[in-house]
A and B are shown apart, each in its own frame.
Chain A
Amino acid sequence: MTGAALPARTSRAARAAQEPGDHLLRALMVAYALLLLACVFMPMGALLQRSLLDSSGAWVGLANYRKYVESAAFLGSLRNSVVVATASAFIVVPLAFAYAYALCRSCMPAKGLFRAAVYVPLLIPGILKAIALIYLFGNQGLLKFLLPDTPIYGPLGVIAASVMWTFPHAVLIVLVSLLNADRRLYQAAEVLGAGRWRTFVHVTWPACRYGVTTAFLSVFVMVFTDFGIAKVIGGDFSLLATDIYKEVVGQQNFEMGAVISVVLLLPSLLVFALERRAAGRQSVQVTGRSLPLVVRPDRLRDGACLAFCSMVVGAIALVLGIAQFAALVRFWPYNLSLTLANYTFDMQGAGWENFHNSLRMSTWAACVGTVVVFTGAYLVEKARFDHTLRRTLHLAMLLPMAIPGLVLGLAYLMFVNRPDSPAGWLYGGMAILVISTVTHLYSVPHLTALTALKGLGREIELVGLSLNTPVWHLFRTVTVPACAAALLDIWLYLFLRSMTTLSAIIFLYTSQTKVAAIAVIHVDETGFTASAAAMAMLIVYACFVVRLLHHLVSQALLRRLQRWREPQPAA
């Protein structure tokens, strides 16, 4: 055999040995590549292009950037954004670590309750937390006497609301890293005579360092790129994210909006790259089977944990309570009698139809998103060929994590609004809101689906092939039922986030498709804060109800589908 003859033989053999299902998988992979191109890369390209043009559409190179960097607004906003994001991260991460530590390394009572309480803030839109803060510490706030001289509008309010908003996310990230502790390491440390501090420094900390770093970076990016909270409670305090909104909505200056978007995108991309690197290193560390840690009671520690967690839960309850109270009060703070009048929304440009839009959009996003995400993760994880394409798809599916919602939304606007755009027909409909939201939220559910599929083991598909089973049959009878829990979680995540996010769609709605989260901003702008609170509370109710339904459905479904998870009853 000569060297030259080898490649030709290889490809012929590979072609000949294809399964019938391989054609389907390959076609789907190409479809996903095109989909990602259309939903991520082409809009981002349009945004980038726009930042290099002037208002008449002529090429100006980096002139817009130069103009922006030299403007007085740039340095101020950049500094403000960095300060607010850094401060929030430095406040949130220790709190989140303490909370997560209390949850899995103490014997305090009511741990289940405290664990469930973490999920509550996830059901509350960030803007509602800002509104609650105004009711607590604003000029006519309930607790104004605690902050007599400092106005809540501005950095203080933004940081406080951001802390509340990002806290549950940070707790969940840290929790994961604390949970995979190996009992044997702790036993070894104890036998070797290490004290608490040494054990913490040498055993606990190395295991969760990655989680803490990830939490820190995530919080930083979330706050750095968030727009809703700053809009409501920021006052005149300018941030990069609100600058984009002001340029685009206020002054119709799309070019400058695009420029600031690119500036906003850079740190997110950097953090994304850092995180990918750290994740690569971390995956090497987590190997082998570990035994779960058994925590022994310790009065002092358990008491401190209980006190701390109670305070956190108290704060969450206070925020939710004050928001609900404000939504029910006739005229704050002069007439505190209760009424449902705030829920009639009889002002211009807001109404119950916004809430209905929210439900419609979130249901679509959750249903479409779950199917698309899971199938995509399946292709990435299970196809036996085209390694490079699968790797590329995977990275492209993680990329939305690095794109701030506001930036993605603006990119969509520019993509569909171009006269030559192939997607122009989407503008004005509900579909573009759904597409933008699903793209914005894609990465986290993608990782959830991947984890579930990995847990199923790679050989399952190989066995299916050797048993002469078509891919789709195995997918339907084994893969999907075995991943039912993950699928439900993905659906819930997409629904809840779609209900509460607004950054990805703030540039894309029309009066017909305006959702509740956007209506909250508008109502708040017009000064009807109580109605804004009421509208935001509608979102909270819907999220609670759906969360509860999800719980009931998953209980029932898992009972039926996943009896196999239960260990055998004693014979």
Chain B
Amino acid sequence: MDAPAARTAPAGAEAPYLCVAGLHKRFGATTVLHEVSFEVAEGEFVCFLGPSGCGKTTLLMCLAGLEQADGGSIHKRGARLDRLPPSGRDVGIVFQSYALFPNLTVVDNVAFGLRSRRRPPGEVGRTVAGLLEQLGLQGHEAKFPSQLSGGQQQRVALARSLAMSPSLLLLDEPLSALDAQVRARLRGELRELQTRLGLTTLMVTHDQEEAQSLSDRIVLMNQGRIEQVGTPWEVYNRPANAFVAAFVGAGNLHEGVADGARVRVGASELPCRGCRAARGSSVHVMIRPEDLLLSAQRGTASFAPARVGQLEHLGAIVRAHLRGEDGIRWVADVPKKVYAAHGFATGDTLWLGVAADDVRVFP
């Protein structure tokens, strides 16, 4: 990624819609944001992903103006945003707790912002009705939040922030208070709505699956720093470091020793390509479960025999837990069809293999 500070000002076709540069935030002695910089294009859906306490919510609050950063800048369309009060930033925000006004009906909640801007009642009515229809909330107009299900409440919260037609939508873990099925459905609806409106959206989540299924790009954070910015594909397949590799998706992450074009893990020697670590230095080695090959006979890609332990039947794949003779544990995903053709069972000994391209080595 380019240094973002270098291209804050120029107004060209490829100028970023939102540009965050060197954002810094401390709470007392702890620094929660370390010089955070990234860019977002117009209409993009970006997720801030990371473990709890990584600073992703603070980042969102700084963007909304509900927290003050100690340093750095935020520009939207080239205009400085971080000096403006929250109400001047033209952003919509939805919280995990929905924060619906409990004493107002669905209609009054959605109309709240428009009415405090003193828009004509006719316009308010049309906008609200349109939003409720888009979000499938017709028939619930006169209900109070406590009379709605969690999913409906979340839709009302979304409608309320969309009513102001914000130029930027901020979502703070909007789906995590919902149960799994509702969450999956809302996820789809949310992405569809966002695409239809072409609304630039930033969402905080700690659920990597959610981030991968929803976003155009993921900003992966840890301890107040950005670990990687990339598309879901990049983050999963080209993790920038061991933290990203471990956080996104399942994986076999082991300590090893670099040895030129090979890397030693336990008693095995694995091939690797483009490994730049110095010979003899200790490294982290990561192999995705689906990249691990299982075979009954030793093949060219094989590196060690291992004993099959528990098998998890997860539908499309079978996840096998194996243990090498050196005691190292491996997890391999086998497609359903492959498993059906070759069928193995707990207690069998199989050869583990891997292609050099699929072995990732991090310092």
Contact = CB atoms under 8 A, between A and B. Distances in A.
Interface of A: 1, 6, 9-10, 13-14, 16-20, 22, 384, 456-457, 459-460, 462-463, 465-470, 473, 477-478, 481-482, 561-568
B164 A467 contact: yes
24 contacts: A6-B71, A10-B70, A14-B68, A17-B82, A17-B84, A19-B86, A384-B66, A459-B95, A459-B97, A462-B66, A467-B112, A467-B113, A468-B116, A468-B117, A468-B164, A469-B116, A478-B104, A562-B103, A566-B147, A567-B146, A567-B147, A568-B143, A568-B146, A568-B147
B116 A473 contact: yes
B220 interface: no
Contacts of B112: 467, 469, 477
Interface in B57-108: 64-66, 68-71, 82-87, 91-93, 95, 97, 99, 101-104
B161 interface: yes
B160 interface: yes
Given A478-B104, A567-B147, A459 B99 contact: yes
A17 B97 contact: no
Interface residues of B, number: 36
Nearest to B91: A466
Nearest to A18: B85
Contacts of A567: 146-147
A477 B101 CA distance: 9
A17 B102 CA distance: 28
A482 B101 CA distance: 8
A352 B102 CA distance: 46
B87 A564 contact: no
Report, nearest first, the 7 A-B pairs whose CB atoms are least far apart. Answer: A467-B113, A564-B144, A459-B99, A568-B147, A16-B83, A469-B116, A465-B86
A13 B68 contact: yes
Interface in B29-71: 64-66, 68-71
Nearest to A564: B144
Contacts of A18: 85
B143 A466 contact: no
Contacts of A19: 85-87
A568 to B, nearest CB: 4
Given A10-B71, A17-B83, A568-B147, A466 B102 contact: no
B145 interface: yes
A463 B102 CA distance: 13
A534 to B, nearest CB: 45
A564 to B, nearest CB: 3
B101 A460 contact: yes
Contacts of B71: 1, 6, 9-10
A565 B97 CA distance: 17
A313 B199 CA distance: 66
A456 B143 CA distance: 18
B103 A482 contact: yes
Given A456-B102, A459-B99, A470 B82 contact: no
Given A6-B71, A462-B64, A473-B116, 5 more contacts: A6-B70, A10-B71, A465-B86, A467-B113, A563-B144
Contacts of A564: 102-104, 144-147
A1 B24 CA distance: 11
B64 A466 contact: yes
A482 B102 contact: yes
A194 to B, nearest CB: 34
Contacts of B69: 13
